[in-house]
Amino acid sequence: MSRRMTALVIGNADYPGQKLRNTTNDSEDMSGKLSEFGFSVIHLSNAEKREIDDSVKSFRDNLNSNDIGLFYFAGHGMQIDGENYITAIDTDFDTEMDAKYSSYPLNKVIEIMERSKNKTNIIILDACRNNPYERAWHRAPGQRGLAPVFAPKGTIVAFATSPGEVAGDGAGRNGCYTEALLKHISSPDIPIEEMFKRVRNSLSVITKNKQTSWEHTSLSGDFFFNISLVNTIGKYRKESIADELFHIKTDVELHSVISNLKSHDWYTQNPAARNLKIEDVNSSDADSAFVLGRNIYQAACGSANGASEFISGFRDRTQDMDVELRSSVFEGMLFEIFFNSKGELRENFKTSKFNKVFEYQQYSEFDESFKFISDILATYQNRFHIIPGKDRDVSVDVETRENDSGERKVIGVYLGGLNLLREDEDFGFYEDDGEVHYEALRKSAFERRLSEDMLIPSSKLTINFDFEADRTSKILFPYGYTVAK
């Protein structure tokens, strides 16, 4: 199930004369969490009013091409004449009137979201902090914090406190409300209303009953931040998605093959893959075939030649396999590239046989299997330049610089005008003078490196060099750098 989701996340802390402790952390952590769920996120930190206005306009454009819209704000919010405003770091707090016309009206955000073509809108406001500027205006207690708002159809508005109340900053990295929100937002398969109830209970504990969160909802359907893969896929059981839970039945021939493939012993894995009987697959079920595919791929990545041969000859070798079970084996191989034995998206994808499997994208008989994996991965679109499985040709431009020896050092790899080359956080091969070390690659090895890093099949990837590159060309790629998303 593919969900198109966009979010605008703002965290303001550097107010004149007063710096909030947690709000930029809150927005940073929320932005990261929403990205994990597949939201395309616009994130602003310590934004001026002009920047908020510009980002809301971009957000408005995004809403019409997405199904879900989310607006999150952490910072000072206030009500003036019954209307709510979110404040910028350049808001003028001298008087209520000054503040009103130098802040951003919340109703404008709500109206923009209401008029958009998307189905569901979520507004989260951690913006009820105790505001010293309001105290200077000698306001009545009921005028502090934010006023109740009307939630248009298909919208839920969540407040850190009840209307008219205020909240303090948290003692740790996050404010109390966002701390509670981050505790529960990743809970799988929980409707959003239930999730906010859990937030309210945790918030009560964190603040010793001093703060009560509040929501106004007019959602007409269910929304889940985190949908488990089992519910996303539906086609396979959870014991197959998290195949560490898969139960091996000793009296089932295909399960014996799977057990041997799991052994990490080439002398056991190779004959298991080479002697696999089609009739054993045909007499099994979709889940067993799916797990078989997963373990063939993992054995091949562990250098079991028999498993690699099975992948290379898959199309011919499986002609007599039941069509549905054949698809399940192939989908298991695809799935293993991206997901670990717990059914979680891998931190580091298994790419050594990536191109061997994705070569089959040229055959229409595998179209449904590639759609299967691309639909799953669309939920994690922030991890990919192009969602794997999509039948799309991609062209990148490589920028190089010639060194004194006539070798070409890579200084840029461009996709859509953006340089993808970046320092890998897990590495850092530098000399004391800051000079970068390079790895010498032949053209074919360099192209394979880009394909596997970018997770774009070689057959779909055109690489344009800024020099006449041939198979003997030596290309220097910087150690500790990557073009992965």
Per residue in 278-288, pLDDT (tens digit) is: 999 999 999 99
pLDDT at 106 > cutoff 50: yes
Residue 96 has pLDDT above 90, yes or no: no
Q: How confident is the model at residue 430 (pLDDT cuts 50, 70, 90)?
A: very low
* CB neighbour list of residue 381: distance below 8 Å, 6 or more residues apart: 38, 40, 387
Q: Could you report the per-residue pLDDT of 77-90, keeping only the tens digit for each?
A: 888 888 899 999 99
Kindly state the average pLDDT of the residues 306-320: 97
pLDDT digits (tens, 9 = 90+) for 194-223: 999 999 999 999 998 889 999 999 998 889
Using a CB cutoff of 8 Å and minimum separation of 24, what contacts does 105-113 make? 106/77, 106/146, 106/149, 107/83, 107/149, 108/56, 109/56, 109/71, 110/149, 110/150, 110/151, 110/152, 110/155, 110/157, 112/56, 112/59, 112/60, 112/63, 113/63, 113/69, 113/71, 113/152, 113/155
Mean pLDDT of 305-314: 98
Tell me the one-letter amino acid at 374: S
Mean pLDDT score across all residues of the chain: 90
Instruction: Tell me the per-residue pLDDT of 35-61, one tens digit each, with 9 for 90 and over.
Output: 988 899 999 999 999 999 999 999 999
Band (pLDDT 50/70/90 cuts) for residue 427 is low
Integer angstrom CA distances of residue 268 from 290, 336, 472: 20, 20, 39
The answer to whether the beta carbons of residues 77 and 106 sit under 8 Å apart is yes
Tens digits of residue pLDDT in 123-151 = 999 987 666 666 566 555 445 667 778 78
Mean per-residue pLDDT, 333-355: 95
Position 124 scores a pLDDT of 97
Model confidence pLDDT, tens digit, residues 222-277:
899 988 777 778 889 999 999 999 999 989 999 999 999 999 999 999 999 999 99
Given a cut of 80, whether residue 429 has pLDDT beyond it is no
Residues 368-396: pLDDT tens digits?
999 999 988 887 877 899 999 998 999 99
Query: What is the pTM for the complete model shown?
Result: 0.71
Report pLDDT for 426. 61
Return the biggest CA–CA distance within the chain: 84
Residue 189 confidence (pLDDT) above 70: yes
Residues of the chain with pLDDT > 90, as a percent, come to 71
Indicate if the pLDDT at residue 431 is higher than 50: no
Residue ranges per structural domain of the chain: 5-227, 230-381, 394-482
Average pLDDT of 448-477? 94
Q: How confident is the model at residue 17 (pLDDT cuts 50, 70, 90)?
A: confident
The answer to whether residues 147 and 216 touch, using CB atoms and an 8 Å cutoff, is no
CATH fold of 5-227: Rossmann fold (3.40.50)
- Give the pLDDT confidence score for residue 78 in this predicted structure: 87
Q: Measured on CA atoms in the order 93, 96, 98, 104, is the torsion positive or negative?
A: positive
The pLDDT value given to residue 383? 86
Residues sharing a CB contact under 8 Å with residue 475, sequence separation 6 or more, in sequence order: 400, 407, 408, 410, 440, 441, 442, 443, 446, 469
Q: What is the mean pLDDT of residues 82-110?
A: 91
Residues of the chain above pLDDT 70, percent: 93
